[in-house]
Chains A and B, each alone.
Chain A
Amino acid sequence: MKQAVVHVYRGGPLLALVGNPNCGKTALFNRLTGSHQKVANYAGVTVERKEGKLATPAGKNLRVLDLPGTYSLHPRSPDERVTCDVLSGHAEGEKRPDLVICVVDATNLRRNLRLVLAVKRLGLPCVVALNMTDLAAQSGIRVDGAALSAALGLPVVSTVAVNTDGAAALLTLLDRPDTWKRTAPIGDGASAADTIEADHEVVRRILQGLGLDKAIPHLASDRIDRVVLHPLAGPPLLAVILFLIFQAVFAWAETPMNWIEAATAWLGNGVSSLLPHGWLQSLVVDGVIAGAGGVIVFLPQIIILFFFILMLEESGYLPRAAFLLDRLMGGVGLSGRSFIPLLSSFACAIPGIMAARTITNTRDRLITIMIAPMMTCSARLPVYALLIGAFIPRREVWGLLELQGLVLFSLYIAGIVGALLVAWLLKRFTARKLMHPLMMELPIYHWPRLRNIAIGLWQRVMIFMKRVGGIILVLTVLLWFLASFPAAPAGATGAPIEYSFAGMLGHALAVVFEPIGFNWQISISLVPGLAAREVVVSALGTVYALSATGNDTAGALAPLIAHSWSLATALSLLAWFVFAPQCLATLATVKRETGGWTMPLIMAGYLFALAYLASFITYHVALAAGWG
Chain B
Amino acid sequence: MSVDLTPTTDDTSPEQVKAIGEQLHAAISQAVVGQADVIQQTLVALLAGGHVLLEGVPGLGKTLLVRSLAQTLQLRFSRIQFTPDLMPADCTGTNIIGEDELGGRTFRFQPGPLFANLVLADEINRATPKTQSALLEAMQEHTITVGQSTRELPQPFFVLATQNPLEMEGTYPLPEAQLDRFFFKVLVPFPDAGVLHGILQRTIQPPDALSVVTDGPHLLALRAVARTVPVASNVADYAVALILATHPANARNGSLVRRYVRAGVSPRGLQALVTGAQVRALLDGRFNASTDDIRDLALPALRHRLLLNFEALAEGVSTDAVITETIETLGNP
A and B, one complex? no
| B residues whose Cβ falls under 8 Å from a Cβ of A | none
Interface positions of A (Cβ within 8 A of B): none
